[in-house]
A and B are shown apart, each in its own frame.
Chain A
Amino acid sequence: MRYLPLTESDRRAMLDVIGAKSVDELFRDVPQSARLAGPLPLPAHQGEMEVERAFTRMAGKNLSAGCAPFFIGAGVYRHHIPAAVDQLLLRGEFLTAYTPYQPEVSQGTLQMLFEFQSQVATITGMDVANASMYDGATATAEAAIMACRITKRGKVIVSGGLHPHYAETVETSLRYTEMEAEILPPDPLGMEDMIGRVDGKTACVIVQNPGFFGTVRDLRPLAALCHEAGALLVVMVAEPTSLGLIESPGAMGADIVVAEGQSLGMGMNFGGPGLGLFATREKYLRQMPGRLAGQTVDVDGRRGWVLTLSTREQHIRREKATSNICTNSGLCALAFSIHLTMLGGTGFGRLAELNHLAATRLEQKLKAVTGLRVLPQSYYNEFAVHLGDDADAAAVVDALADKGILAGVPASRFYPTWPELKPVLILAATETNTEDDMDKLVAALKEVV
């Protein structure tokens, strides 16, 4: 078997050194009743060619985004990823390393994480960022818990513009704790108002910007409202390319910024793995979850990097840790960081402009579809549309899929019990969408709606 270097004669020689007659003898601590006598009745080993064939067959049963006009967003965005990103992260020294516990042989990962933290802090407008969380949903939940820890309050207000998967993850994470989440109804128009909701029990308000239905907000009034009540403002950014065009959450008053980093470097991968970004103010540093790479010097006085402030973490603090997170998303952080390095300050702004431009082009073209109206007053590269009172967005998406068009996400997929959302479709456009794609979408919508 190609991944197993030992030969039968190796095994015999090793058993002689051990003083055992067979490998079975080494399993003698396993209760007799639980020992399996031989391989389980499952398929036997296969060569590369056979396995590759099986995966090619499974891949062939899917309609991949590159084969269709594609307008799906809602938390996972399709962007062009430069070829160098994947080539570099495939370097075995990055790919096959563990968490950098031995800093002298992990300076590559550690310097990369330090650069990543610097990039994340810069784009979010915050003081410090950690070395990543699992994804945007879990990062949001961790932010809620951290806000409760800081304020010593238990109420978390979740905007109706937060991605419903994130809201569900927050709710689940708080389910058996002293904390509770108040989840506001879905907000397709972006009209939600927090005035009167935030009070002395509120630990934080969590909003997504741009919102799940598209709305881009000026967060400054909300930040002022939260701070007046002694609550924190947690801002979730599901589409980080937007930070090239919209003022950073930090500059608008956020206390904790979390984001889903998938947009940069990673591709869609059917939604996983993601990359949770987590940034905050310096004063909350010691309340942060997750790993941190920090700068130091070696015994010769040369600059280097180590994992630091680990007294917050589970391997030291156990049940008193800020989080149970251990493995995070190191390689995804590398992909994100390489992509952002390739964009640079110049490209990051340009990419955001191209995305917004694509969405405005799409909006213009959609005017040709009778009865369709764009719901949010503002947007970045994604917006909800209403297809008409009797329309069923899920059926429309289904019919368009049959025509080979992946036409957004029906809101009912997330909100099956909200009849008023049945006609709502969420459409995204990025730099990858061509005019031709948009024309095909519009033509098909005209036929179906």
Chain B
Amino acid sequence: MSEPMTISGNRALLIEEKLIFELDNPGSVAIDLPEPAPFDLERLGDAPRRGRVALPDLSEPQVVRHYTRLSQKNYGIDSGFYPLGSCTMKHNPRLSEKVARLPGLADLHPLQPQKTVQGALEVIDSLAHWLKELTGMPAVAMSPAAGAHGEWCGLMAIRSAHEDKGESHRRRVLVPESAHGTNPASAAMCGYSVDPIPALENGRVDVAALKAKLGPDVAALMLTNPNTCGLFETEIIEIAAAVHGAGAYFYCDGANFNAIVGRVKIADLGIDTMHINLHKTFATPHGGGGPGAGPTVLSAALAPYAPVPYVVHGAGGLEMVEGKRAGAKPFGRVKGFHGQFGVFIRALAYIMSMGSDGLRQASSDAVLNANYLLASLKDDLSASFDGPCMHEALFDDRFLKDTGVTTLDFAKAMIDEGYHPMTMYFPLVVHGALLMEPTETESKDTLDQFIAVVRGLAAKAKAGAAEDFKAAPRLTPRRRLDETLAARSPVLRWKPAAE
């Protein structure tokens, strides 16, 4: 262990912080609750009563300081540039946070009589309307809680449609090698087997290989577009026709929708269903890993199978349908209540703020920013594919050949320079991938600074400074962490020393 630089272990604004359990000060309270009047516990039945639960006692000032200090060990979009490819880390508008906290929207129970929540239903209905118009699709299932959940929802609709047609033998789903891991995992949860499709040298799916794999047992194709290499699938319309020709459906992973909102309608590409990550494309906060929302648009063929609940326009106003309804054959229910309402409010506030013109400008700027990075860095790093790219630029590690520096080392060195690294080692179709997605909410000045830093790091790596890279990051609250130890001897919770 190296010598601490200070007596306390703290370094100015970087303050060491114990676990809440180690801050326990029995008898402290952070919430003043009244002493209950004497009462017996007879109505609690025959379940054993519980003694004091072993949670630490802290006061409010201690709690506030604890979480404030923890927050200071985190990097968010608010802190700086976060070019994490495929994650769309764009600015999160604060108006969205404000309106989501209006008591008339936040302090509502999902099971209130529907006549008392017409405004909430209007939020859901308005957002659904925008999503349908932006994609050109006739229906949307609003309730999926995240992207992977939307994938599953779309595939469940596909499977239900096949079953309904008596084609339950269709059990194979085609998934490109470059796909995100959630795609095959979602397919497996619908009882499907996964058949990978190779990529071509140009970063697109191998259409000939895809066509060769189509057959009477294929249920669907799952394709990400723009794809995970940041490229538009140029032959997508032909692909859709081939998939439909074989009696299968076309699922599109909409993780990269941010590149094309307002510039391309999903329906015009022949897609049957696509999830939309509201927490990416429509600027709701990622919150350190959620909550997200993954509304899933559906073609006319799949719409009858949409899960409950959904909002319809009834005689007396908006109606939340939670059960049976004429003409509908819902495949079931994907979660409790009505979907990620808090996320819906934020996404709708963003969409209304941007409007039709702003959304189109946003995708234009996202693509412009990515191409600016690609053009500016292609001679310093190694670009995997020729441009233009869509909203993200993919590089691989050829530029690091013989330097002793890996993609991981390069990423860690970026941390010391004040940046969150790009996505590393994904997609798997190129070696040592560095996937950069700047998003439209970054200024040219930010990009220019970033380009200068990345060029500097690339030059440094090529000049033989591998040791410096291996030692990075040096300036973070913690330096490189031992992931092998964490997995080999898992410590997943705090336990008192005595145990």
Contact = CB atoms under 8 A, between A and B. Distances in A.
Interface residues on A, range: 35 or more
B269 interface: yes
A35 interface: yes
Contacts of B58: 341-342, 344
Interface in A260-313: 260, 267-274, 285, 291-302, 304-306, 308-309, 311, 313
21 contacts: A4-B365, A17-B372, A26-B367, A55-B105, A59-B102, A61-B118, A88-B71, A97-B76, A216-B44, A247-B48, A260-B336, A268-B108, A269-B100, A270-B341, A273-B291, A296-B481, A314-B181, A315-B181, A319-B188, A327-B146, A346-B57
Given A40-B133, A331-B285, A344-B28, A91 B441 contact: no
B137 interface: no
A96 B283 CA distance: 10
Contact of A61 (B119, B236, B369): B119
B352 interface: yes
A329 B104 CA distance: 23
A48 interface: yes
Contacts of A134: 145-146, 149, 290-291, 335
Interface in B376-399: 376, 387-388, 390
B368 A23 contact: yes
Contacts of A2: 353
A379 B105 contact: no
Contacts of B345: 55
Contact of B145 (A216, A267, A273): A273
A70 B102 contact: no
Interface stretch (B209-217, B296-304, B355-363, B460-468): B355-363
B243 to A, nearest CB: 16
Given A3-B441, A334-B288, A354-B34, A34 B269 contact: yes
A155 B50 CA distance: 32
A122 interface: yes
B13 interface: no
A426 to B, nearest CB: 9
A151 interface: no
A261 B472 CA distance: 38
A101 B158 CA distance: 33
A325 B182 CA distance: 7
A246 B48 CA distance: 6
Interface string B94-134: 01011111111111111111011111101100000010011
Contact of B50 (A10, A248, A285, A311): A248
Interface string B141-177: 0000111110110001001000000000000000000
A70 B288 contact: no
B312 interface: no
A245 interface: yes
B119 A319 contact: no
Given A26-B371, A300-B1, A328-B289, 7 more contacts: A3-B358, A23-B364, A61-B122, A102-B421, A166-B336, A321-B181, A345-B54
Contact of A1 (B27, B102, B354): B354
Which 9 interchain pairs have the tightest Cβ spacing? A378-B45, A59-B104, A331-B287, A271-B110, A172-B332, A271-B337, A92-B78, A330-B289, A61-B119
A119 interface: yes
A332 B82 CA distance: 22
Contact of B45 (A10, A218, A293): A218
B29 A344 contact: yes
A231 B225 CA distance: 44
B47 A338 contact: no
A139 to B, nearest CB: 10
Contacts of B70: 94, 107-109, 111-112
A304 B17 CA distance: 11
Contacts of B232: 27, 29-30
Contacts of A96: 76-79, 89, 92, 285-286
B273 interface: no
A42 B108 contact: no
B481 A304 contact: yes
Most buried by A among B58, B111, B180: B111
Interface in A312-367: 313-321, 323-332, 334, 338, 340-351, 353-354, 356-357, 359-360, 363
A163 B123 CA distance: 26
B326 interface: no
A115 B58 CA distance: 14
A363 B336 contact: no
Nearest to A133: B145
B225 to A, nearest CB: 10
Contact of A29 (B50, B91, B231): B231
Contacts of B117: 62-63, 270
Contacts of B100: 269
A353 B36 contact: yes
A67 B117 CA distance: 13
A346 B29 contact: yes
A14 interface: yes
B367 A23 contact: yes
Nearest to A315: B181
Interface string A69-91: 01010111010001010111111
A433 interface: no
Nearest to B294: A327
Nearest to A14: B372
B353 A48 contact: yes
B263 A314 contact: no
Nearest to B352: A51
A298 B45 contact: no
A36 B265 contact: yes
A55 B361 CA distance: 24
Contacts of A52: 95, 98-99
A42 B130 contact: yes
Contacts of A329: 289-291
Interface string A110-130: 011111011101110001110
Nearest to A266: B342
Contacts of B287: 89, 94-95, 97, 330-332, 334
A28 interface: yes
B288 A114 contact: no
Indicate the member of A19, A163, A316 with the most B CB atoms within 10 Å: A19
A337 to B, nearest CB: 8
B454 interface: no
B105 A273 contact: no
B73 to A, nearest CB: 4
Contacts of B337: 75-76, 135, 165, 270-272, 274
Contacts of A165: 333, 335-337
Contact of A65 (B72, B109, B277): B109
Contacts of A368: none
A39 B113 contact: no
Interface string A50-61: 011011111111
A5 B122 CA distance: 31
Interface stretch (A173-181, A192-200, A440-448): A173-181
Contacts of A268: 106-110
Nearest to B483: A306
A328 B286 CA distance: 10
A62 B119 contact: yes
Contacts of A294: 486-487, 490-492
B171 to A, nearest CB: 9
A219 B46 CA distance: 10
Contacts of A176: 156, 159, 190-191
Contacts of B101: 86
Given A51-B352, A109-B74, A6 B368 contact: yes
Contacts of A135: 145, 335-337
A46 B120 CA distance: 21
Contacts of B458: none
Contacts of A391: none
B186 interface: yes
B132 to A, nearest CB: 11
